[in-house]
Amino acid sequence: MTDDSRQRDRRERMVASLLRNGAVRDPRVVAALGKVPRHRFVAPNLIRDAYGRHALPIGEGQTISQPSVVARMTELLEVRDTDVVLEIGTGSGYQTAILAELARRVYSLERFPSLARRAIARMRELNVLNVKIQDFDGSGGWPEMAPFDRVLVTAGAPALPAPLATQLAPGGRMVIPEGSREEQSLAVYELDAGGNLRRTDAGPAAFVPLVGDYGWESG
């Protein structure tokens, strides 16, 4: 068995496990998880663990979330193929690539330049063409590219950053972990045509802190 086929087999087993455990149901999300090569988004010494059930370090004190969390966040976002998506916290770029399979266009922000550079390189290697990544404080969003149909925040915020709410398009949807530095709840925000923002709690979560002007202070 070649290395590529071995990783494909591991990826298929990961998706089967997520389906069996009820972690994913949406056929489009299932297809994206089955297509994106997660092992390409981790360090060489961690490739054997790429399709395991746990988060993995990616440098700069950040992690690539466990597959069940990526599946859950993606399903909650309900991405359509016409959507323009903003992602806060590119990290390794794995979640970015999943979103790119589902959306028309993805804009992603990462505060660590080293992580952003590696994620950009991976997108090029994998020929992911509908993604734009920049390295700056994402807690304030990306007003020049707004409005966004969907916003996904992959770091824990103390509360909803005010600029993100203003960058959501009418009918838009946002998923963001809110709470303390250590523990959060997944909040789903929906903006109706009248400009009313409705919040739904989608259960507990634990992410690295969202650091920035509209998040936590560094340190």
- Read off the DSSP letter of residue 65: P
- Read off the DSSP letter of residue 216: B
- Range 160-163 contact pairs with CB under 8 angstroms and sequence separation of 24 or more: 160/187, 160/189, 160/199, 161/210, 161/214, 161/215, 162/214, 163/139, 163/214
Q: Are strands 148-153 and 84-88 parallel, antiparallel or unpaired?
A: parallel
Strands (E) located in the chain: 56-59, 62-64, 84-88, 105-109, 131-134, 148-153, 168-179, 184-191, 197-205
Taken in order 155, 216, 141, 204, the sign of the CA dihedral is positive
Contacts of 44 (CB under 8 A, 6+ apart): none
User: Any idea which residue has 């915020």 for tokens?
Assistant: 157
Is 5 a catalytic site residue? no
178/216 Cα distance (integer angstroms): 11
- List 65, 92, 108, 139, catalytic entry: 65
User: Any idea which residue has 């959501």 for tokens?
Assistant: 168
213/75 Cα distance (integer angstroms): 28
Mind telling me the catalytic residues? 65
